Structure 1
Amino acid sequence: MKVLIVDDEQHVREAIRLLGDWDRQGVKEIYEASNGEEATNLISRHKPQIIFSDMKMPKMDGIQLLEWIKDNHPTGKTIVVTGYDDYHYMRKAIHFGSADYILKPVDPEVLNQTLEHAIKAWEKEEFERKKDKDRYQLINQMKPIYRDRMFTKLLNNHGLDEMNYEETGLPESSVYQTALVKINEKTIKRFGGGRDIVYFTVLNVINEIVTAKNRGIGFRYLAHKGEIVIIFWEKTADVEQLLIGIYNTLKNVLGISCPIALGIPVDHSVYLLKSYQKAKDVLLSQNVMDKEAVRVYLEEREQDAPEINLLSHSAAIELATQAGEINAFEEVFDNITRDFRERSFLSWNQLIQFEKEYLVISHRFFTKYNIPYSLSEENEKRIDLFFDENGTFMLEDYIERRKREISLMLRVAKRHSRKRKSNILSDIEQYLQANFYRDVKLQEIADHFYLSREYISRKFKQEFNENISDYIVKIRINKAKSLLKNSQLKIYEIANMIGYQDDKYFRKVFKKVAGITPNEYRSSHM
């Protein structure tokens, strides 16, 4: 423990040095200064924990010294040495964080009580500082996958007890605030499809910036693809500048835009999800057609005009489908594109909703024409590819891609329609798909379609390269795969639902067809 005594009167310095019970308080070194300027030099060199300071001194008085200490040595505890008539100075001293004061002439008992109080206060604060430092070191030493899991749980406010909450290393703070960093598929493609490499690179940039100021931690949010979340604590006033620095650095490193949205401040870590949800709302409200140099968003953007609804064009789309030509769709798409272009506004929310409606219409189309299909339901992933390196949405490219998809759908529908008219086997296939959970016999099929069993068996094998029983097994296993992604269903329940009363037999059949057990398949898709 080190002490500095600052007073322009030598007898006052000597009195404090002689009257202090230094050994009992653990003080090993005592320094003296006759004015504020000397004091600043000694403080910079020796970093004393306790500083006694007079108020009226030449060159730099006590008020100026306390202000300097607050900015340059904030961990030190100051004790003002003042006279009875210096209450103006005492108020200033309190303003600049002085721990206590003693009056001249110095009373030995008051001096030592004040010293003891100041030392205990310093030790308590030092303990908290060390605790925060240890926590922050723990955060940085975590393995990335463990860190991501822990903070994802913390953000969702579940699955953490008091013990493993401590393991997160999140310091106690009067305020927390989250920011959301969007990583799109184009960024990942730029890295050759290496998703983990992208997250590793982005998180390195983020954490290098925020850890330099001991202000926050970034992690991969495992609950949603393409998202990194930053948790800030304390001093949220300059978060915007930090985020701008992060955005610009990522732009320089990756060569592509990673939009960032800021959530609201919250006063406890249990409300972090609320802050994150606000950040998500802020991001989804932004205009993706804007050409902006820095995509750091602090507030939601209001939209005056009503949203453009693709389903409102469903009648025109139905007529175009019946016509069966892509030219019939041109007018529909041109109208929609013109609406977006005239408004010069298209929010993330609107774009995602538009893509959902597009998938609904596609689903109706394929269902109507009984066409087996597979369309990705990851709407954001399908959209991500249409952003340029500056983060601006390329509307024309998006529309052209959807036109090509519809053109392909129309060709498939025509081909499938012709095939269906000439081939009764498509009806038999539909019958099997609708009744896969029952023990459908060949005779039942023959009776239903007024054909011989031999003809059905032979033609089915020629068309599908497998017999009917194997085909039913394939349908069942595909259905089982879909149900296994629902963690609420037991294995035996799934077995019963698809037509197997014996779940052990179901497990055996599943492994034979899929190559892995039902449990292994479920684990790989959770």
Structure 2
Amino acid sequence: MLKVFIVDDESWARDIIKAFGEWESLGMEIVGEAEDGTEALRMMEVLQPHIVITDMRMPGTDGAALLQQLNDQFPAIKTIVVSGYDDFQYAKHALRFKAMDYLLKPVDPKELNTALQNCKSGLEAAQMERGTLSLDLDISYTLASYKKLLKLRFNELNTDGVKTTLDQMMKELEQSGITKAVMLEQVVQELLLLLKELMNANSQDSDSLHAPYGHEITQSGENTAAFLTHHYVTTLEQLIQQRKFKNKLNLDEVRLYMEKHYTEPVTLEQLARAFFVSKEYLSKVFKQEYGRNVTDYMLHLRMVKAKEWLMDESIPIKAIAEMAGYEDITYFYRVFKKHFGIAPGEMRKSSEV
């Protein structure tokens, strides 16, 4: 997958970009975020993104300085500028340092995805000039469906499912001719990045994944398969041990899991299975602790976040609905009004008075 990095000091602005980007169809994934240029530059070497989307006005190292340093240090990275200010000076900076596009806030979804497609085309053209014929994109496309399946199996705590998925993935890679060390290096990097994401989402320490690994890992598909399977299975078994053999259910862990997954269709049954308790027991103790049942708590999380985003009138209500996990905006309006007693548009108008 093409790796995208977002830089903006406002979290809602980053959320909008994440919600509007057609990441899967473009063959892209967001690998990181930063609130300023200094933080972003620290992460470039580790994450090695192909595309950086940046705001211009930020504290510390602003967008103009970031563009200049990216142009000097990482000239292969494609950049997109997103700014709330229609300022000619900013536009000049963007052009000077070869930004692919200059978008005004609030971001238009079509404009954003067109800019992303232009970046992708530029990267593919550069690869063809080097004679690689977009090989890394081909590998990413092959991995995409397996990564979705791995994510599903991991969150189900399905060790056998994870092993089977990795085995099938490596067989397809081999059949596709993806056997050279440089190709397998990309496979390892993408799969470790996914594992880090899964660990963080399940409150596991992922610092050990930054440790270097030997070149022998990518000398054969067999070595790569063994390395990845070991990491995924060991991590998953640790998570299962943490949850299954605790003397008492840790409701804080359940709550934190919900807060990280509130945009997903998490059900009481899925939560109970993931924490090795019956749904009846989980429902009872959760309500005793937090005064709401699981379903109502998930709804509360979504509504609180939606209300927070609503206070900024530059965010379209449709985007707020999508970011809160509602594809049907009519249903979002109905749920929001039932929860707060007022429609989203009316709440926004009343906040402006």
TM-score (ref. length: structure 1): 0.24
Structure number with higher helix proportion: 2
Q: With the length of structure 2 as denominator, give the TM-score of the two structures.
A: 0.36
Q: Which has the higher contact order (CA 8 A, sep 6+)?
A: 2
